[in-house]
Amino acid sequence: MKKLFYFLSISLILQMGTSCVNYDNYDGPAETLKGSIVEKVTHDAFQTEVSDNGVRIKLMEYSWSDNPTPYYFTIKQDGTFNNTKIFKGDYTILPEGAFVPLEPTDTISISGTVIRNFEVEPFLKLKWVNEPVVSGNTISAQVQITRGTTNVNYQQNVIDVYLFINSSSPYVGNNNNDNRYSAHLTGTDAQNCIGKIITLTTTGSLPIGRTYYIRAGARIDCNIEGSKRYNYNEPKVVVTPK
């Protein structure tokens, strides 16, 4: 009798357990949102870093709620983005980065592949002036930094200027650099760089006979969604001879 009671009890528990299972039969995210962010005046690709402190895209889905939870994804270093894992629905789209803030788009339907391009006014514009120069165990580069917008609300002082460097990846910036060698200007040295051609030289003694990736970055004293974000120029490859 004890064995029979035990068997019936286990059977009842298993039946109750399986009857409570709810299976997710919704389609997975399979829609695509892609596009690019370019500078408004020059239409150059907007240079950034691959992280939450670079440029992130904020999506608000209004298909099911008037007060949705934001969904974020980050863009590529060259200003392009291609997210292939978005749920079908109605969204507003808002890029956030080191540029004059934009307004969210009107609500649009994302179904299949949707392409959206954005023009922005960067806080700062960084340009290489000459090719980098290797001298012994250092690399020097000339950079010009100018304002990227005439909007006085986004012309705060420059607080940091860097020549970022690493030997592992072309994805170089504040999020990925070797701080033993990256050059840094701050204080009045950074504030006085606007409109000038400045020379930035790596610090320390670089191991020779290697390939390095370098990039200049600068930021103003302006907080965008919790972060003071950098503007960049495009990365360069430098090979130091043996």
Indicate whether 12 pLDDT > 70: no
* DSSP-assigned states of every residue in 159-197: EEEEEEEESS-S--BTTB--TTT-EEEEHHHHHTTBTSE
CATH 2.60.40.2060 fits 124-239, yes or no: yes
**pLDDT band (50, 70, 90) for residue 25:** low
**pLDDT band (50, 70, 90) for residue 11:** low
Class of domain 31-120: mainly beta
Encode 10-33: b = buried (16+ Cβ within 10 Å), e = exposed. Answer: eeeeeeeeeeeeeeeeeeeeebbb
Instruction: Please check whether the two domains, 31-120 and 124-239, share a CATH topology.
Output: yes
The pLDDT of residue 28 = 82
C-alpha to C-alpha distance for 103 and 40, rounded to whole angstroms: 15
C-alpha to C-alpha distance for 206 and 25, rounded to whole angstroms: 56
Question: In the chain, what are the domain boundaries?
Answer: 31-120, 124-239
Q: What average pLDDT does the chain have?
A: 92
